Every structure is written in structure tokens, then in C-alpha cells.
Amino acid sequence: MYLITKELARLRHLQVQPVLVRDNSLTQHHANRKDRLIQASSAFKVTGIIDPSPIYLLIDDVVTTGATIQQAALLLKNAGATDIWVAAIARQPLD
């Protein structure tokens, strides 16, 4: 995802600042909805200081339950971000 993010930023003359990092190595590939929600709640941590003025764009490769994006956005909001946008490459419902 980082390569896609970097290329999108280059094309739009934007700056990339990774402000979320994965806090564990759990995968959600075969997890059910309940497990995905639990895993996502501890999947990331905010690094650095969040400036409330820019728009933060979360990019995910595949959205299944939305748990990852929801938790990442919540972390950013709780850290002070006010505008959070989401982009996904694909949507794959769990059912």
C-alpha cells in the first residue's frame, strides 16, 4: 500500500507522512467478523503529533468489514485530526 500511496501523492503533489503504524502482526485473512473487530481495535498506534489542520487520507487495499478503517480513523480523530478521508482499492464483503 505504501507504494500506491507514494505514487498518488506524487501525482497530486502531496506530502506523505505515515502517522499510523501497525502495532501487531495479526492477519485478518481468515478471521470472522467478530474477530476482525477485536483485532482491529489494537492493530495500530499513532506516531508523532497530529496537526488538526490538514486532511488525513487513509488508504486500504481491501475493505471487508470496515473494522480496520474505522479503528484507524478513530485513532486519528482521538489524536486530534479533524478531517479524515478514506480510499479503498477494493470492497470484498465477508459474507
Is the model's pLDDT at 53 over the cut of 90?
Answer: yes
Is the model's pLDDT at 32 over the cut of 80?
Answer: no
List 84's β-bridge partners, or say none. Answer: 56
Measured distance CA(57)–CA(40) in Å, rounded? 18
Cell numbers describing residue 25: 502482526
Report whether 50 contacts 76 (CB < 8 A).
yes
| Domain of residue 26, residue span | 2-91
Q: Confidence band (pLDDT; 50, 70, 90) for 26?
A: low
Report whether 89 contacts 60 (CB < 8 A).
yes
List of residues 6+ apart from 71 with CB closer than 8 A: 40, 41, 43, 44
Report whether 5 contacts 14 (CB < 8 A).
no
Number of domains in the chain: 1
The pLDDT value given to residue 51: 94
Q: Confidence band (pLDDT; 50, 70, 90) for 84?
A: very high
The pLDDT value given to residue 95: 67
- What torsion do the CA atoms of 35, 36, 41, 47 make, to the nearest 10 degrees? 140
